[in-house]
């Protein structure tokens, strides 16, 4: 297959969040994030800023996520993507870090400072 220079603006990728639960265990919860496809120059900027701790996971997660599937409320009903719902999602501890890790995992060879 030939390389196609024009790429889609976004792509779907799984995000797994491991929440601590009773007994010293973790519970994995997963959803599919729709990630914005960033140009290489922006990815390099973010890596540089992460090395100097001048970009927060919440800030970057807000930049790259453009939608989702598999996010539900307590009753199991789908939560549609919106800026308000994204704000609530990013306010849950561990979620923004999991989103950033999933984004970089989707980029072969990209490394991120933990």
For the cut 90, the answer to whether the pLDDT of residue 6 exceeds it is no
Residue 16 covered by a domain = yes
CA distance linking residue 68 with residue 17, whole number of Å: 14
1 located within any domain: no
Residue 114 inside a domain? The answer is: no
Give residue 108's pLDDT.
67
106: left (phi over 0), alpha (psi -120 to 50) or beta: alpha
Q: Is residue 3 part of a domain?
A: no
110 has pLDDT over 50: no
| 62 inside domain | yes
Number of domains in the chain: 1
Residue 113: inside a domain: no
- In what helix (H) or strand (E) does residue 7 lie, and over which residues does it extend? none
Residue 36, domain extent: 10-105
Whether 35 maps to a domain, the answer reads yes
Distance CA(112)–CA(47), nearest Å, equals 6
Plot region of 23 (φ>0 → left; ψ -120 to 50 → alpha; else → beta): left
pTM: 0.87
Q: What is the pLDDT of residue 16?
A: 96
> In this model, does residue 80 exceed pLDDT 80?
yes
Q: Note the pLDDT of residue 67.
A: 98
Interval 22-72: pLDDT, tens? 999 999 999 999 999 999 999 999 989 888 888 899 999 999 999 999 999
H/E run at residue 80 = none
């Amino acid at each position: 297959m030939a390389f196609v220079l024009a790429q889609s603006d976004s792509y779907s990728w799984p995000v797994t969040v491991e929440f601590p639960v009773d007994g010293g265990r973790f519970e994995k919860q997963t959803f599919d994030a729709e990630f914005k496809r960033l140009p290489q120059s922006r990815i390099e900027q973010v890596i540089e800023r992460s090395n100097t701790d001048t970009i927060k996971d919440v800030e970057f997660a807000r930049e790259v996520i453009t939608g989702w599937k598999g996010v539900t409320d307590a009753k199991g009903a789908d939560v549609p993507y919106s800026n308000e719902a994204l704000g609530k999602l990013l306010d849950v501890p561990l979620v923004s870090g999991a989103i950033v890790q999933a984004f970089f995992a989707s980029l072969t060879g990209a490394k991120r400072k933990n």
